[in-house]
């Protein structure tokens, strides 16, 4: 499942062709390894909004070195700019004044985060200026290069103390394949967050349910949640029994074999979680299938099976767990959508409808949930798996190159994003859909 093109362009002849033909030259992305520091370098801080004074303390609590003095010629691993104080369009020049001198002083795979105020909560020129930040960050994400990422985090009034988990994610290699995203903190429900007792094991003592857990992205989700301290309950179809049992044994987890579309599946899941674990803290709806055909040629069973597995089952399971109070306070509901549900895809009207529906599930529940329970989704782009390895070469190459990083992502990139949502420190992160796609150039 390696990227052969990326390997080729790192050879002497590959470098020559890249230089002479203008071919994409993807940077090998840095990814987090257990036990490593969140940031291996210094983060430069700028801006003068309502978050600026607290940023050094927040980063210090995460073990991240930072400085407000960016003079000289030192290099930086990350940049954080507090733009909450920009209240009219003329003030946007502060972005250029801070970033232009520093962009050439960034190390490989740098992280950039701009902090703003949720525009919907503002009026007049302040709303205009804050909305402008989206165009700035998305464009910078496509310029930064060298494996860099750029994010915009809107922080609602009152949510100032709830930014630590999000900064930990976006400033670290855990967000290697996430760029050009807009995240809202405190826009739905709680504006506060628990402090993780141990940032290296934020899910210690928590129980996490993962559907479709036996292989692929689901396997990596289970592994990352286990790494972060959770007891994982893996769910998959009986045909995947051997793979699921082997994985759950390795992770010291639990397993549940069933078809999530079965009429009694929600009740069986709820019963197992209550009886064996006393409830659940994290619910990840990962199980999904494709049955691709253009709509003109699509049979009814292809349509129904995709909608049933990808959308109706997560709806029914979520509702049952909520109605039976199986999800513990400060719990997490996380859906796996897709950029196909945002941008559409030829031959995938059924799949795209199901994944857009997952986003709809987030929208419908975000303001309904109580007791610190949140709902969010990830929307993966081209992720290198055994399934995508079977895609025709030309189609696969196009899929991997049409993003700001000129490469496909890995299953762990999706898993790390889910782990950020799952953190107890992410209670104010609610109602978001984050694309894990290397910032696709088209459609999404």
Contacts of residue 338, defined as CB under 8 A and 6 or more positions apart, other chains included, come to 351, 352, 355, 379, 380
Distance CA 215, CA 218 (A): 6
**Whose CA is closest to 198, among 371, 334, 34, 412?**
34
C-beta separation of 90 from 123 below 8 A: no
User: How many Cα atoms sit within 13 Å of 300 on the Cβ side?
Assistant: 0
Helix, strand, coil content of the chain in percent (nearest 5): 45, 20, 40
CA torsion, points 236, 241, 242, 245, in degrees to nearest 10? 70
Residues taking part in catalysis: 351
Q: Which two tokens stand for residue 410?
A: 């890995």
Q: Encoding tokens for residue 187?
A: 């826009």
Helix H or strand E segment including 113: strand 106-116
Q: Enter the DSSP assignment of 46.
A: E
Residue 420 CB-half CA count within 13 A = 35
Measured CA angle at 331 (ends 328, 337), to 5 deg: 135
72: left (phi over 0), alpha (psi -120 to 50) or beta: left
Q: Is 22 exposed, middle or buried (0-12, 13-18, 19+ CB in 10 A)?
A: exposed
Alpha helices in 22-150 (DSSP H): 55-61, 93-99, 124-143
DSSP run (H or E) holding 416: helix 411-422
DSSP at 129: H
């Amino acid at each position: 499942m390696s990227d052969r093109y990326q390997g080729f362009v790192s050879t002497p002849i590959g470098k020559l062709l890249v230089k002479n033909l203008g071919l994409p030259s993807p940077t090998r992305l840095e990814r987090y390894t257990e036990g490593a520091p969140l940031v291996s370098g210094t983060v430069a801080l700028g801006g003068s909004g309502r978050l600026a004074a607290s940023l050094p303390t927040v980063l210090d609590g995460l073990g991240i070195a930072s400085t407000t003095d960016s003079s000289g010629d030192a290099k930086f691993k990350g940049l954080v700019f507090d733009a909450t104080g920009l209240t009219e369009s003329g003030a946007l020049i502060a972005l250029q004044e801070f970033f232009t001198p520093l962009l050439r002083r960034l190390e490989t795979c740098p992280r950039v985060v701009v902090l703003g105020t949720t525009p919907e909560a503002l009026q007049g020129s302040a709303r205009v200026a804050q909305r402008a930040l989206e165009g700035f960050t998305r464009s910078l994400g496509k310029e930064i290069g060298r494996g860099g990422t750029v994010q915009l985090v809107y922080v609602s009034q009152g949510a100032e103390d709830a930014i630590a988990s999000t900064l930990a994610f976006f400033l670290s290699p855990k967000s290697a394949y996430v760029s050009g995203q807009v995240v809202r903190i405190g826009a739905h429900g709680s504006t506060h967050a628990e402090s993780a007792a141990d940032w290296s094991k934020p899910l210690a003592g928590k129980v996490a349910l993962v559907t479709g857990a036996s292989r692929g992205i689901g396997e990596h989700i289970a592994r990352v949640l286990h790494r972060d301290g959770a007891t994982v309950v893996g769910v998959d179809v009986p045909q995947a029994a051997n793979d699921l049992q082997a994985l759950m044994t390795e992770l010291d987890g639990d397993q549940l074999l069933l078809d999530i579309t079965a009429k009694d599946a929600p009740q069986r899941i709820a019963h197992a979680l209550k009886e064996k674990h006393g409830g659940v803290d994290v619910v990840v709806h990962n199980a999904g299938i494709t049955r691709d055909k253009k709509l003109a040629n699509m049979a009814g069973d292809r349509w129904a099976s995709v909608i049933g597995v990808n959308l109706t089952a997560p709806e029914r399971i979520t509702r049952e767990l909520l109605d039976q109070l199986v999800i513990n306070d400060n719990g997490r509901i996380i859906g796996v959508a897709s950029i196909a549900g945002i941008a559409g895809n030829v031959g995938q009207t059924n799949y795209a409808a199901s994944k857009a529906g997952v986003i709809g599930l987030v929208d419908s529940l975000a303001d309904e949930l109580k007791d610190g329970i949140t709902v969010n989704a990830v929307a993966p782009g081209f992720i290198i798996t055994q399934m995508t390895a079977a895609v025709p070469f030309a189609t696969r190459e196009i899929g991997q190159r049409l993003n700001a990083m000129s490469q496909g992502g890995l299953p762990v990139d999706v898993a790390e994003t889910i782990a950020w949502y799952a953190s107890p420190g992410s209670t104010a992160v609610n109602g978001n859909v984050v694309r894990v796609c290397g910032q696709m150039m088209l459609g999404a």
